Chains A and B, each alone.
Chain A
Amino acid sequence: MIQLPLVQVLSLAGLLFVMGLIGLLVRRNALFMLISVEVMLNAAGLAFVAAGSRWQQADGQVMFLFILTVAAAEVAVGLALVLGLHRQLKTLDTDAADSLGG
């Protein structure tokens, strides 16, 4: 049996991360920006699991668990902020929230 080359999995993780980054930079809807951040976190987790699988260690999967926790906490706070934004400005456009811009 052949082992998957680490380079290919890491390339996939990098591509997914870049897609999330593009989404974060291009979209102006707060909900889509949160989803893009999730895509990036997921790609980072994929890289950890791939490395852990390459060296047959459980550490990569433990790191994925930590990333999962961070993603869950981030989504809870981020969605609360999105709800607050919608309640105050009646829009999800992040460019509308420019009160600190002077």
Chain B
Amino acid sequence: MEATFYVAAAAALLATGMVITRRHAVHALLWFIVSLFAVAVIFYTLGAPFVAALEVIVYAGAIMVLFLFVVMLLNLGPAAAAAEGRLLSPGAWVGPAMVALVLAFQLGWLIWRGGAAQPAGQVPIAPADVGSALFGPYLLGAEICGLLLLTGLVAAAHLGRRRLPPLDAHREESP
């Protein structure tokens, strides 16, 4: 189980290093998703299966899809088709795919040897415990989180309006 942690940690560091050095946004996003997968494996070895699942579903699933939507919105035009062709070349996805394969191999190995019951030799914290803590002593925090999400929604809807005047009008007035 310790080896699992070290391999996943190496994968996370490698993937994060690639995230901050890529030129193309989609390449960086691919590497970041792999980095999130690696951190999810680390969560699992730490005995936090609920958070590991959330990391994959919410972070790698929902938040990264938001990023991808914005990248697609920004790339409208004929140049987007050429960029799409370059994305399909193996150079773009072979690296992330290899690291993801290592993580998938770890997952299969853990399931095969039946280590799912006891990650890292300690009692895993069950989702039920997290739930009763979240809606017990941390109830106020959960409510504030809901309020924060609503605020974020309203702010994003407001900032995303299309009828903002262009800035250039101001620029030409003041040389």
**A→B interface (CB under 8 Å):** 1-4, 8-9, 12, 15-16, 19-20, 22-23, 26-27, 29, 31-32, 34-36, 38-39, 42, 46, 49-50, 52-53, 56-62, 64-66, 68-77, 79-84, 86-89, 92, 99
Contact = CB atoms under 8 A, between A and B. Distances in A.
Main SS class of interface, B: helix
Interface of B: 1-2, 5, 9, 12-13, 16-17, 19-20, 25, 28-29, 32, 35-36, 39, 42-43, 45-48, 50-51, 54, 58-59, 62-63, 66-67, 70-71, 73-74, 118, 120-123, 125, 129-130, 132-134, 138, 141, 145, 148-149, 151-153, 155-157, 159-160, 162, 164, 166-167, 170-171
Nearest to B171: A99
B19 to A, nearest CB: 6
A22 B166 CA distance: 32
A10 to B, nearest CB: 12
Contact of A9 (B42, B67, B130): B42
Nearest to B167: A88
Given A31-B71, A46-B42, A84 B59 contact: no
Contact of B122 (A38, A53, A76): A53
Given A42-B36, A79-B70, A89-B167, A69 B145 contact: yes
